[in-house]
Structure 1
Amino acid sequence: MFEKEKIIPFIKRNIWLAIKPIWLFFMFLLGLTLILALPLAIFEYSFSASELDVMECAFVVYLVIFTRNYILHCRSINAPKVRKIITPFVNFAHMNLLFTSVIALVMLAFKGSLELLLTVPIVDLGSVMFEIFIELIEEATLIPLFDFIFFFLSVLAFQYSFHKVSSFSYVFTSASDKGSNQKNFEGATIK
């Protein structure tokens, strides 16, 4: 029926097709949660405009402009609605996971806790990692330019979302246009 060389890639592809929607759903929820928590990070002490510094004001203005432009862009392309909605949240979650992991590893290496993690028994590893993670969260705000790096990476993640949603677009062709060449949003010719 199937050859062995065709079965293994078939199984891998179907496993990925089953896992990918679950992964995207959880990344969407994480990204949504992180974006909803942004006001708590920006307004650390009180919800007043006097607390905002220039960088935070610029980031808030950027978010407003990005949201407007993203909505206008999504109206002008033919991409699946689900992809239009989840793309910024998923990319923001990926950026946060990467940023948090790098900061945690650097801080663990400087504190010497990396060797501690290697000597802890597997059974206790989860509780020890949680304790270290709580300490890292408290110390992370002391890193110079931490907010600037976070806001800069957030802008990059949102701009990547703006670009990425275009790659999900497709062009509908009618029966009369089948022979003609059309171009999609990125300029590639569709026959």
Structure 2
Amino acid sequence: MASNVKKILSKKSKFHELLQAQVGNEFSASQQYIALAVWFDNEDLPRLASHFYKQALEERNHAMMIVQFLMDNDIPVVIPGTQTPINEFKAPRDLVDLALRQEQQVTEQIVALAKAAREEGDYIGEQFLQWFLKEQVEEVSSMKTLLTIMDRANGNMFYVETFLTRENVGDEGADPSAPSAAGGAL
């Protein structure tokens, strides 16, 4: 009987393929956030740098949550390479705009994953993705807020730095409902 369960879980599915691809998407997002953080660090904008270093860790943790889910369900895991991040920007606003577009893209990817799980009747996979869907609402909202503050600051990064210090945007603390990350969340 146990071998039948293994055969069912190990069958190829669109959902599993998309989930594998999402591991790479999350690691690529992490690398892009590191590039943004380093840019802000080089511009002596420590709050913005810190914000994006944290975002990079969060994206890394998301990838490792997916890895843990795959391992827990006996689905072979392949760790892919990442896309080369963009490193050159003209203005601080460009970085936050890129981060917002990246979060919107990740949201589309997570929605596609949820649709695939539902279409395949993978209720376990669909349930796993509920946390990610909720997380993406927060991520997009947080980046929209930061972009709005950048626009209101009209180039005065002191206002943006002060806002991040005062408001702790995107730092709601650890979520006890978050899936486990392989190797532990950082």
Q: Same fold (TM over 0.5)?
A: no
Normalised by the size of structure 1, how large is the TM-score?
A: 0.29
- Higher Rg: 1
Normalised by the size of structure 2, how large is the TM-score?
A: 0.30
Higher helix share: 1
